[in-house]
């Protein structure tokens, strides 16, 4: 199959890596030094690239092109695209719309209120503050007291001056990422994963795009979470905006059962890295099936075992991007893959240039062996300021958000 992958981060490297293993001809419209080994890289507007290449499928990694309506534009050209339309992507692209959707359909979630910037703030001793629109992983603040809530609301108003702000009740419990491929009617779930969003060990420090992930995470609430995702897909179809693509539910496993923290309309990053590492069968027929409105079977085959992805960043992340020569990397092996998120080739040299630079992903028969393999790989990475959490896959479940 001829496939165009849109997006240039670690998630798209993982998608390309998984598809290339099954012999597909890959094209990429963004730059990432790792893509050259997987297919043809021609940087440009994805719609123009698709028009020129006429692929059998376009796989869209990031949320921004979904928000911009790339799937609608590809539909108009009759080019199959994996990802939701602009209207369906509102599950992620508008936090306010998404919350109203959850409440409209009785999907379990935190209580919330919406305020416009400048409107008086209700009294809140703690809570979660979210900007309405996309914010590249930076628009959520988990606040422990009233002063933090006030500061977060001020920051949210600075970030999106015209936007609305969502104020949510703070939920307590372990957090889990449940992703399912949807054809607009039916879903097929992937193994549950766990992201580690806080910057520092022990779930301390600012929220980030994700400092590492593990899968599978075995939880008794899995079926309940999957059923909530299925209800969401059914409700989207009833509202006339069927959701085709990957629906990602961020759940808090509270004492009163799983509650939705948010929806995302794309693969998580770094969840995608561990999920792709665990896939046994070819993903392409599933992505095409989702795009065409008919998934090819009842379940996706994953390999027996565990995966652990440790994200390597520059030391100033998330405030500053890395800028350093990478002088050593571990070699990929059957039980280790290094996914590139923020690297650039300058002549012969490879540089760390992003916030999140690499996702070093280990595989093993147990969670512990996968974790050990990933950290052995991480210790072979050399660039000035290279930094990572040391407790990916090892920390307790306690988190809040
Ligand atoms: N890892 C969380 C996200 O992709 O939004």
State the CATH number of the domain containing residue 275. 3.30.470.20
**3-state secondary structure (DSSP) of residue 335:** coil
Residues 261 and 284 in one domain: yes
Residues 358 and 339 in one domain: yes
Question: Domain for residue 99, yes or no?
Answer: no
Q: Taking the mean position of all CA atoms in its chain, how far away is CA 150?
A: 28
**3-state secondary structure (DSSP) of residue 359:** strand
Q: Which of 91, 210, 213, 276 to mutate to test the pocket of ligand 1 (most atoms within 8 A of CB)?
A: 210
Question: Domain for residue 383, yes or no?
Answer: no
**Measured from the CB, is residue 63 less than 6 Å from ligand 1?**
no
Name residue 302's beta-bridge partners.
279
Residue whose pair of structure tokens reads 């075992």 in the numeric block: 305
Task: Report residue 191: phi and psi, to 5°.
Answer: -60, 145
- 401 residues of the chain, pLDDT tens digit each: 999 999 999 999 999 999 999 999 999 999 999 999 999 999 999 999 999 999 999 999 999 999 999 999 999 999 999 999 999 999 999 999 999 999 999 999 999 999 987 788 888 889 999 999 998 877 889 999 999 999 999 998 888 888 899 999 999 999 999 999 999 999 999 999 999 999 999 999 988 989 999 999 999 999 999 999 999 999 999 999 999 999 999 999 999 999 999 999 999 999 999 999 999 999 999 999 999 999 999 999 999 999 999 999 999 999 999 999 999 999 999 999 999 999 999 999 999 998 999 999 999 999 999 999 999 999 999 999 999 999 999 965 433 33
Strands (E), 137-227: 140-143, 164-168, 172-173, 175-183, 187-189, 194-195, 198-200, 204-207, 212-215
Question: Domain for residue 275, yes or no?
Answer: yes
Q: Which atom of ligand 1 is nearest to the CA of 195?
A: 1
Measured by CA distance, the residue closest to atom 4 of ligand 1 is: 268
Question: Domain for residue 369, yes or no?
Answer: yes
Question: Domain for residue 335, yes or no?
Answer: yes
Residues 266 and 354 in one domain: no
Q: Where are the alpha helices (DSSP H) in 109-254?
A: 146-159, 222-238
Residues 247 and 205 in one domain: yes
**d(C-alpha 246, C-alpha 262), whole Å:** 14
**Measured from the CB, is residue 268 less than 6 Å from ligand 1?**
yes
DSSP string, 25-76: EEEESS--TTGGGTEEE--S-HHHHHHHH--SEEEE-SHHHHHTTHHHHHHH
- Residue 89 DSSP code: T
Q: In 10 A of CB 299, how many CB atoms?
A: 9
Final residue of a structural domain among 85, 100, 132: 85
Backbone dihedral region for residue 69 (phi beyond 0: left; psi -120 to 50: alpha; all else: beta): left
**Measured from the CB, is residue 195 less than 6 Å from ligand 1?**
yes
Q: Which of 194, 248, 355 to mutate to test the pocket of ligand 1 (most atoms within 8 A of CB)?
A: 248
- Ligand 1 centre distance from Cα of residue 35 (Å): 22
**3-state secondary structure (DSSP) of residue 91:** helix
- CB-based burial of residue 97 (10 Å sphere; 0-12 exposed, 13-18 middle, 19+ buried)? middle
Structure token pair of residue 240: 């006339």
Number of compact structural domains in the chain:
4
| Domain with 183 in it | 175-292
Residues 287 and 352 in one domain: no
Residue whose pair of structure tokens reads 């590809």 in the numeric block: 74
Residues 198 and 264 in one domain: yes
Residues 157 and 187 in one domain: no
- Residue 37 DSSP code: G
The pTM (predicted TM-score) of the whole model is 0.95
Question: Domain for residue 90, yes or no?
Answer: no
Q: Which of 177, 196, 313, 356 to mutate to test the pocket of ligand 1 (most atoms within 8 A of CB)?
A: 177
State the CATH number of the domain containing residue 36. 3.40.50.20
Asked if residues 178 and 192 have their Cβ atoms less than 8 Å apart, the reply is yes
State the CATH number of the domain containing residue 131. 3.30.1490
Q: Which atom of ligand 1 is nearest to the CA of 210?
A: 1
**Measured from the CB, is residue 132 less than 6 Å from ligand 1?**
no
- Ligand 1 centre distance from Cα of residue 348 (Å): 32
Q: Max Cα separation, the chain?
A: 57
Residues 152 and 184 in one domain: no
Residues 63 and 148 in one domain: no
Measured by CA distance, the residue closest to atom 3 of ligand 1 is: 268
State the CATH number of the domain containing residue 362. 3.90.600.10
Q: Taking the mean position of all CA atoms in its chain, how far away is CA 177?
A: 9
**Measured from the CB, is residue 269 less than 6 Å from ligand 1?**
yes
């Amino acid at each position: 199959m001829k496939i165009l992958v849109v997006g240039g981060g670690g998630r798209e490297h993982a998608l390309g890596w998984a598809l290339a293993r099954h012999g597909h001809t890959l094209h990429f419209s963004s730059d990432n030094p790792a893509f050259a080994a997987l297919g043809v890289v021609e940087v440009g507007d994805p719609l123009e690239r698709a028009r020129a290449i006429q692929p059998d499928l376009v796989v869209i990694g990031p949320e921004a092109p979904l928000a911009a309506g790339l799937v609608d534009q590809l539909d108009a050209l009759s080019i199959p695209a994996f990802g939701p339309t602009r209207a369906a992507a509102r599950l992620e692209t508008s936090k306010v719309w998404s919350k109203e959707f959850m409440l409209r359909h009785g999907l379990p979630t935190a209580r919330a209120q919406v305020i416009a910037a400048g409107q008086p703030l209700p009294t809140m001793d703690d809570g979660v503050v979210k900007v309405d629109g996309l914010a590249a992983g930076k628009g959520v603040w988990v606040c422990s007291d009233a002063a933090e809530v006030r500061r977060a609301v001020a920051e949210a108003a600075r970030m999106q001056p015209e936007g609305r702000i969502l104020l949510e009740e703070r939920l307590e419990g372990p957090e889990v990422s449940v992703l399912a491929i949807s054809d607009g009617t039916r879903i097929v779930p992937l193994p549950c994963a766990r992201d580690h969003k806080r910057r520092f060990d022990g779930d301390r420090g600012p929220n980030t795009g994700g400092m590492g992930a593990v899968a599978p995470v075995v939880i008794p609430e899995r079926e309940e979470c999957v059923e909530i995702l299925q209800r969401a897909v059914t409700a989207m179809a009833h509202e006339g905006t069927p959701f085709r693509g990957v629906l990602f539910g961020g759940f808090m496993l509270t004492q009163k059962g799983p509650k939705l923290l948010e929806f995302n309309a794309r693969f998580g990053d770094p969840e995608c890295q561990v999920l792709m590492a665990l896939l046994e069968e070819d993903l392409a027929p599933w992505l095409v099936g989702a795009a065409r409105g008919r998934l090819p079977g009842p379940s996706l085959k994953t390999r027996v075992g565990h995966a652990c992805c440790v994200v390597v960043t520059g030391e100033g992340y998330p405030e500053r991007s890395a800028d350093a020569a990478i002088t050593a990397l571990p070699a990929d092996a059957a039980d280790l893959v290094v996914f590139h998120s923020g690297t650039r080739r300058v002549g012969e040299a490879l540089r760390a240039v992003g916030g999140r630079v690499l996702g070093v992903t280990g595989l093993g028969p147990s969670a512990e062996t996968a974790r050990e393999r990933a950290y052995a790989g991480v210790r072979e990475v050399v660039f000035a300021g290279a930094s990572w959490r040391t407790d990916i896959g090892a920390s307790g479940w306690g988190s809040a958000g």
